Amino acid sequence: DQQVKQNSPSLSVQEGRISILNCDYTNSMFDYFLWYKKYPAEGPTFLISISSIKDKNEDGRFTVFLNKSAKHLSLHIVPSQPGDSAVYFCAASATGANNLFFGTGTRLTVIP
Amino acid sequence: DTAVSQTPKYLVTQMGNDKSIKCEQNLGHDTMYWYKQDSKKFLKIMFSYNNKELIINETVPNRFSPKSPDKAHLNLHINSLELGDSAVYFCASSATPDMGEKLFFGSGTQLSVL
């Protein structure tokens, strides 16, 4: 059962524009969400996270928005740069649980 | 200096063989994991060790046996390899076993079972 879904397998954006990557989840017990970025032939690297007590967290060009009622989060990258081209994974966990659930990733291509 | 390193990067083997993947972290973390990314790109946790003790075992077949000689190492041994074991296996570590703690991943081992 896929509890974290990234319905867009790919996204292309022009350099300098905003990239918006979306993630939906089904488990209302999830209270912590993370985004990871993955380059080819490398492991995922942590990008940004958000707790369910917040609806926004910002780190430089990256902002994550959380809409708990819709069970939806999004990652905004602005301005997008060619080096942002990678696969982005959304992940979610619940306090006290022993698992972290990942989405299947969205491949972002930033066109110079 | 690689924080989480796993070897080998590629592993091609025949069905029925036994193989091992090694993982080491130099971050001083207490917790280490094995994740599997299958052909559908799902990243799923297999095992988690905290200070050399197994804390998570996610319904993985007995053919998979993790071994943690110390908290900086977590190796994965797979017996009697099957075609369905073909996947990318990622080792990871974190400072604590809290599932919200950020993970540091190795670069992955691409296992192909023929």
| Parallel, antiparallel or unpaired: strands B87-94 and B31-37 | antiparallel
Name which of B23, B20, B22, B39 is nearest B83 in CA terms: B39
Six-digit token pair at B93?
């570590």
Q: What percentage of residues in chain B have a pLDDT greater than 90?
A: 72
Interface touch B45/A44, C-beta < 8 Å = no
- pLDDT number for residue B59: 75
Contact in structure between A64 and A47 (CB atoms under 8 Å): no
Is A100 an interface residue toward B (CB < 8 Å)? yes
- pLDDT number for residue B1: 64
DSSP secondary structure string for all residues of A11-34 = EEEETTS-EEEEEEE--TT--EEE
Report angle CA B33, B15, B107 to the nearest 5 degrees. 30
Is B100 an interface residue toward A (CB < 8 Å)? yes
Sorting pLDDT into bands at 50, 70 and 90, what band is B2?
A: confident
**pLDDT over threshold 70, residue B15:** yes
State pLDDT tens for residues A29-68. 999 999 999 999 899 999 999 999 999 999 999 999 999 9
Contact in structure between A69 and A55 (CB atoms under 8 Å): no
Contact in structure between A59 and A78 (CB atoms under 8 Å): no
Sorting pLDDT into bands at 50, 70 and 90, what band is A99?
A: confident
Interface touch B103/A99, C-beta < 8 Å = no
* CB-nearest partner of A89 from B43, B45, B55: B43
Sorting pLDDT into bands at 50, 70 and 90, what band is A2?
A: confident
- Name the CA radius of gyration of chain A, rounded: 13
State pLDDT tens for residues B59-108. 788 999 999 999 999 999 999 999 999 999 999 999 988 878 899 999 99
Contact in structure between B81 and B18 (CB atoms under 8 Å): yes
- pLDDT number for residue B54: 86
Contact in structure between A6 and A105 (CB atoms under 8 Å): yes
The residue type at B43: L
